[in-house]
Structure 1
Amino acid sequence: MSEVVAVIPARGGSKGVPRKNLQRVGGVPLVARAVDAARRCAAVDRVVVTTDDPDIAAVAAEWGAEVVERPTALAGDEASSESALLHALDELQARAVDVGILVFLQATSPFIDVDALTAAVQLVRSRRRDSVFSGVETYGFLWEKGLGGAAEPVDHDIDVRPRRQDREPHYLETGGFYVLRAAGFRAAQHRFFGSVGIAEVSPRTALEIDTADELELARRLAPLIDLRHERDVAIPADAVVTDFDGVHTDDTVHVDENGVESATVSRSDGMGVALLRAAGIPVLILSTETNPVVAARARKLGVEARQGVADKAAALREWADERGIALARIAYLGNDVNDLGCLGLVGWPVAVSGAHPLVLSAARVVLDRAGGDGAVRDLADRVLAGRTATTAPVEAHEHPTARLEAP
């Protein structure tokens, strides 16, 4: 039986934005976002990434995609997406995969509308259309620079300026996805053939990243578009690393007349750490400052703390290497700009509620709780939920946390 196969071309080279397909939006590499969108589409049977880059291939595999090795000759600036797709179809045919419908996704579109994608597949499957592309409605008046740079109208008469409600819309390709009848695509060797349809998407999902400015815009939009505040988001991490000030505390400090500092922490957070330890999940506190408050809290929690760390990302990488824990399997919880390096390394960058805007943009998950108000417990609950989702439940009388007390 033929399959609906999503193919994501993702080459390693890029002039406008270096290593573009690995750049993160909402804490997730662009190629991974495309894989995730395809896997969330119930109409897609198989997800494939075609790439010439081993790092992209590793991320694609980690997120559940099959990988087709893309020849160097098809990975240069002059190579077309069609050539990569045709090569992928040949490789899949060699693997005995019968592709009936080809879903072409572009990793440079970070906000793919899965519902619209599903509808597009159904439109091709029903044979009402042979090719469908994602498009956004526009009523814009288009101009081009003519001879000598003078402006000339493209789609309208300059003497007639009808109101929006009196005009028929045009549709602009978003570049997000194309759904194609595979046999027709092979024959035409182009994404538009036969009866072409439009899958209309919202303007807020229509961003395509070709420049550094567009990448920054996508990062700023991600907190508004991604569902990263959902309370049921489980985090399947193998280790938890946190900042201290603004995470375990509310980022304030009390200083007495002798200069002795103290801070307020949450007993709920203490219980969360205890639950993580009982589940065998390593916990590390990383702090830029050296402060006896941090050391005392770490001792109370029974976890390791590394203080006075100028380069927190390097310290995190060293700690992970020492324990053989993949960075992709670490959840890092931060709140301010000195956490950005660590957030950019791990598979699960997490922000407390009310974090710095750049941290919110870098996070894959934004917690409901603020620092010092149960944020660590919130993260712990999500990590434990991610762990229990992939393991058999423990009998009640064997539960390892039955006698725990909150530090």
Structure 2
Amino acid sequence: MSEVVAIIPARGGSKGVPRKNLRRVGGIPLIGRAIQAARRCDLIDRICVSTDDDEIAAVAAEWGAEVIRRPDHLSGDTASSESALLHALDDLEAREIAVGVVAFLQATSPFIDSDALAGAIRLVQQRRRDSVFSAIETYGFLWRRGTGGCAEAINHRADHRPRRQDREPHYLETGAFYVLRATGFRALGHRFFGSIGIAAVPERTAIEIDSFAELEVARALAPLIDAPEPIDVDAVVTDFDGVHTDDTVTVTETGVEAVRVSRSDGMGVARLRAADIPVLILSTERNPVVGVRGQKLRVEVLQGVDDKAATLRAWADAACIPLSRIAYLGNDVNDVPAMDIVGWPVAVGDADPIVLSAARVVLDRHGGDGAVRELAERVLRARRGPRPLPSLHENRTTP
């Protein structure tokens, strides 16, 4: 039986936004978002990421994709997406994997509509179309500059302005996905051939990231577009000040400091421990109160940490826990480096705006007022609910 294979080209040498495919939107690397979109589509049998970059390869494998290493001569600025797809198909053929349908996904489109993707795949599987692309409807009047810079109408007559309801829509490619019959694509080497179909997608999802401005727009849209997800993780790591506390401190005349914490948070941590979910408090400050609270909660504490990302990575390696299976709860800008390496960056409700934009989940509760308990409940709820999708195939990197 032939397979439906999603192929996501993701080279490392992007120019407009350096390391673009690893930039995060809604707390998830762009390459991870594309893999997630493919995994949500039940019709896809296999997900492959074609890359020349070691870091992209590692992140892709962690998010559940197979990795096909792309040679240097197909990874430069002038290399076409088609060349990457054809190379991937050659690799799959060499491993005796029969591909019937190719779903070409672009990681630079952060809001890939999985339902529209499934509809496009069905059109090709049922032989109603040979290639299908994602697009949005537009009723705009298009113009171009003609001779001498004079405006010329393209899709309408300049002397006739019909109402929107009296016009047929035009369609604008979003670049999010293209679904192709594999045999036709391999024969012709181009994504458009035979009978071509259109998969209409919601206009709000039609953003393609080629600049820092578009990246910021996507980050602003993510909380409005992304559906809530169960926080299914194997470990929880938190900052202390502003997370377990309300980020204030009381100082007596003798210099003794005291902070306010929530008993509710303590119960949340206890329930995580009871479920055998490790909890770590990772603090930049070195303060006896942090150690005392850690002892009370019976969790590990690392204090005086300048490089939270490096320390967290070392801790995860020692515990044999993938970073993608860790939730990090933070509130201030010094938490962002650690948030940027885990699968579940989480922010308290009153976090710094920079932290909010880096988060995959923003909690309702504030620091020191039940935020840790809220995270604990969401993690435990995910444990009780359906488990995450299994890997489609064993992760592997091909030469």
Give the TM-score taking structure 2 as reference length.
0.88
2: CA distance between counterparts of 1:345 and 1:353? 21
Per the TM alignment, residue 179 of structure 1 is displaced from its structure 2 partner at its CA by 0.9
SS at match of 1:208: coil
Per the TM alignment, residue 205 of structure 1 is displaced from its structure 2 partner at its CA by 0.9
Q: Which residue of 1 aligns with 2:177?
A: 177
SS at match of 1:168: coil
Q: Which residue of 1 aligns with 2:359?
A: 363
Q: Which residue of 1 aligns with 2:127?
A: 127
Q: Which residue of 2 aligns with 1:25?
A: 25
Q: Which amino acid aligns with 1:236?
A: V
Q: Which residue of 2 aligns with 1:269?
A: 265
1:234 counterpart = 2:214: no
Per the TM alignment, residue 140 of structure 1 is displaced from its structure 2 partner at its CA by 1.7
1: CA distance between counterparts of 2:258 and 2:157? 71
Contact kept, 8 Å, 1:222 with 1:361, in 2: the verdict is no
Comparing 200-209 and 146-155, the one that deviates more: 146-155
Contact kept, 8 Å, 2:242 with 2:367, in 1: the verdict is yes
CA spacing shift, 1:134–1:98, aligned 2, 3 Å: same
Q: Which aligned pairs between 1:317-356 and structure 2 lie closer than 5 A?
A: 317-320=313-316, 325-356=321-352
CA spacing shift, 1:390–1:371, aligned 2, 3 Å: same
SS at match of 2:102: strand
Per the TM alignment, residue 190 of structure 1 is displaced from its structure 2 partner at its CA by 0.9
Per the TM alignment, residue 12 of structure 1 is displaced from its structure 2 partner at its CA by 1.3
Gaps of 5+ in 1: 392-407
1:14 counterpart = 2:14: yes
SS at match of 2:4: strand
Relative contact order, CA 8 A, sep 6+: which one is greater?
2
1: CA distance between counterparts of 2:78 and 2:314? 40
Per the TM alignment, residue 54 of structure 1 is displaced from its structure 2 partner at its CA by 1.9
SS at match of 1:332: strand
CA spacing shift, 1:357–1:161, aligned 2, 3 Å: farther
CA spacing shift, 1:317–1:39, aligned 2, 3 Å: closer
Q: Which residue of 1 aligns with 2:397?
A: none
Contact kept, 8 Å, 1:287 with 1:309, in 2: the verdict is yes
Contact kept, 8 Å, 1:105 with 1:177, in 2: the verdict is yes
Q: Which amino acid aligns with 1:156?
A: H
Comparing 310-319 and 326-335, the one that deviates more: 310-319
Comparing 295-304 and 212-221, the one that deviates more: 295-304
SS at match of 2:290: helix
Quick one: which of 276, 299, 304 aligns to 1:303?
Answer: 299
1: CA distance between counterparts of 2:255 and 2:146? 71
Q: Which residue of 1 aligns with 2:72?
A: 72
Contact kept, 8 Å, 1:9 with 1:51, in 2: the verdict is yes
Per the TM alignment, residue 264 of structure 1 is displaced from its structure 2 partner at its CA by 2.8
Q: Which amino acid aligns with 1:57?
A: A
Q: Which residue of 1 aligns with 2:91?
A: 91
SS at match of 1:222: helix
Gaps of 5+ in 2: 389-399
Q: Which residue of 1 aligns with 2:2?
A: 2
1: CA distance between counterparts of 2:258 and 2:323? 32
1: CA distance between counterparts of 2:2 and 2:319? 45
Per the TM alignment, residue 86 of structure 1 is displaced from its structure 2 partner at its CA by 1.3
Q: Which aligned pairs between 1:252-263 and structure 2 lie closer than 5 A?
A: 252-254=248-250, 260-263=256-259
Post-superposition CA distance 1:318-371 (Å, at most 9, x none): 544565654334321012323212211222211223433332221122334332
Contact kept, 8 Å, 1:288 with 1:307, in 2: the verdict is yes
Taking only the aligned residue pairs, the percentage that are identical comes to: 71
Quick one: which of 312, 319, 326 aligns to 1:316?
Answer: 312
Contact kept, 8 Å, 2:103 with 2:180, in 1: the verdict is yes
Number of matched residues? 387
2: CA distance between counterparts of 1:298 and 1:370? 20
Contact kept, 8 Å, 2:7 with 2:105, in 1: the verdict is yes
SS at match of 1:265: coil
Q: Which aligned pairs between 1:99-110 and structure 2 lie closer than 5 A?
A: 99-110=99-110
2: CA distance between counterparts of 1:99 and 1:317? 38
Per the TM alignment, residue 79 of structure 1 is displaced from its structure 2 partner at its CA by 1.1
Give the root-mean-square deviation of aligned CA atoms: 2.5
Per the TM alignment, residue 151 of structure 1 is displaced from its structure 2 partner at its CA by 4.2
Quick one: which of 251, 261, 270 aligns to 2:247?
Answer: 251
2: CA distance between counterparts of 1:390 and 1:113? 22
2: CA distance between counterparts of 1:44 and 1:390? 19
CA spacing shift, 1:110–1:350, aligned 2, 3 Å: same
Contact kept, 8 Å, 2:22 with 2:56, in 1: the verdict is yes
SS at match of 1:177: strand
1:373 counterpart = 2:373: no
Per the TM alignment, residue 34 of structure 1 is displaced from its structure 2 partner at its CA by 0.8
Post-superposition CA distance 1:34-60 (Å, at most 9, x none): 111111101111111111112212222
Per the TM alignment, residue 373 of structure 1 is displaced from its structure 2 partner at its CA by 2.9
Comparing 212-221 and 363-372, the one that deviates more: 363-372
1:46 counterpart = 2:46: yes
Q: Which residue of 1 aligns with 2:116?
A: 116
Q: Which residue of 1 aligns with 2:214?
A: 214
Give the TM-score taking structure 1 as reference length.
0.86
CA spacing shift, 1:339–1:194, aligned 2, 3 Å: same
Per the TM alignment, residue 102 of structure 1 is displaced from its structure 2 partner at its CA by 1.1
